[in-house]
Structure 1
């Protein structure tokens, strides 16, 4: 079964930032969500994971109505949210960060296999790592939790393009294990190049949904994705 959003509305302040959004994230596939700044992309991910409460529509995973569940319960069901800003525990080592979500040593080892660079820094405090290495820790920690669906919000934020290029193939590796990925990313061309599905959100509404190749080949659609 998929993660399904049906006519979802999210309010912040006096009005809706997301209005009537419907989309589906399938297991083992990547859905890339693009749109201009302020389009509501972050709020949509936060509504799925339970950071904010949606006020309309449905968010379902299998037979579970996620809107009735706390953020913690959603996480236990397998919804993992990588938020903006590299949320690390800076005073803890790389290994200690991974152990927070992993059930056992095998989960830690599997997460580390995605990022061999981290094995050399396994005993280092994460505050001493580079920005790229810290983002690797965040992604590895999310993967160590054995998610069914992984929500990733702007993982390139503050990173050099060469570092982001290193991380992109890892998202595909994670999806290949059967995890459904919903990816919000400012580097739209790169994010769309590996996606199975593309969704454009402008003004809090879905303005396009379809094949990434169709979006990449349509200059007008792509400009809307960037500029609204």
Structure 2
């Protein structure tokens, strides 16, 4: 299995670094939860990995090949798909047209729709007419149709009713089971940790914990210290 290797990277915005000295491996076929307090730098870390924002130090490699100097488009061609905050659909396009933006064949559209049967009856509807939950399904289906090697998901639950989010969450595990490495940023910490095999806690721009997600699930005091920046990485 391939791995996305993050080594000592820094991401700067404005006056200085938002992320500094972060290192970890994202393995294909596994979910890693990236959690931490608001403003800790989680979104900036994802932006640096996918190429939305430049990194100011460190390296990013896939199987030993450096990609940190590649554009966002070139990184996507290497298999990094980034679902950013908010439901980034093209509202004037139909569901089918949205999926066609990433799918290379009709079979890939069919495979994506098989995971989201709710979308099949809306396949020719403009996505502007879909509910928030349906739009998030389109975003996930479009990402799946791109056949990613590594999928970065930033706050999938934002603006969704809990019942809708709980419908979508198991699909993240199913995507990982297909051999995709998933890095999941989520405000519902315990749900993310319950889904993931590995966990990273970022506090004040640095990793305060790195290890099995089960360790944090079973030790609330360790999770609390990590959020405050006091746990060992």
Same fold (TM over 0.5): yes
Instruction: Using the TM superposition, name which of 215-224 and 149-158 deviates more.
Output: 215-224
2: CA distance between counterparts of 1:116 and 1:32?
27
- Residue 153 of structure 2 corresponds to residue 145 of structure 1: no
Partner residue in 2 for 1:106: 107
- Unpaired runs of 5+ in structure 2? none
2: CA distance between counterparts of 1:108 and 1:181?
21
2: CA distance between counterparts of 1:123 and 1:224?
49
2: CA distance between counterparts of 1:109 and 1:62?
30
Q: State the Cα distance separating 1:224 from its structure 2 match.
A: 4.3
Q: State the Cα distance separating 1:109 from its structure 2 match.
A: 0.5
Q: Is the 8 A contact 1:88 1:97 kept in 2?
A: yes
Partner residue in 1 for 2:123: 122
Q: State the Cα distance separating 1:71 from its structure 2 match.
A: 0.5
Q: Is the 8 A contact 1:86 1:135 kept in 2?
A: yes
Partner residue in 1 for 2:24: 23
Per-residue CA deviations over 1:32-56 (Å, capped at 9, x if unaligned) read 0000000000000000110000011
Per-residue CA deviations over 1:120-147 (Å, capped at 9, x if unaligned) read 1101110101100000000000110111
2: CA distance between counterparts of 1:183 and 1:131?
20
2: CA distance between counterparts of 1:221 and 1:151?
25
Q: Is the 8 A contact 1:31 1:198 kept in 2?
A: yes
2: CA distance between counterparts of 1:71 and 1:212?
29
2: CA distance between counterparts of 1:64 and 1:22?
16
- The residue matched to 1:198 in structure 2 has which SS? strand
- Residue 185 of structure 2 corresponds to residue 206 of structure 1: no
Q: Is the 8 A contact 1:32 1:182 kept in 2?
A: yes
Partner residue in 2 for 1:171: 172
Q: State the Cα distance separating 1:8 from its structure 2 match.
A: 0.7
Q: Is the 8 A contact 1:101 1:141 kept in 2?
A: yes
What TM-score results when the alignment is normalised by the length of structure 1?
0.97
- The residue matched to 1:68 in structure 2 has which SS? coil
- The residue matched to 2:68 in structure 1 has which SS? helix
**Relative to structure 1, is the Cα distance of residues 227 and 167 closer, same or farther in structure 2, using a 3 angstrom cutoff?**
farther
**Relative to structure 1, is the Cα distance of residues 38 and 92 closer, same or farther in structure 2, using a 3 angstrom cutoff?**
same
Q: State the Cα distance separating 1:64 from its structure 2 match.
A: 2.5
Aligned residues: 228
- Unpaired runs of 5+ in structure 1? none
Partner residue in 2 for 1:43: 44
2: CA distance between counterparts of 1:52 and 1:81?
12
Q: State the Cα distance separating 1:196 from its structure 2 match.
A: 1.0
Instruction: Using the TM superposition, name which of 146-155 and 210-219 deviates more.
Output: 210-219
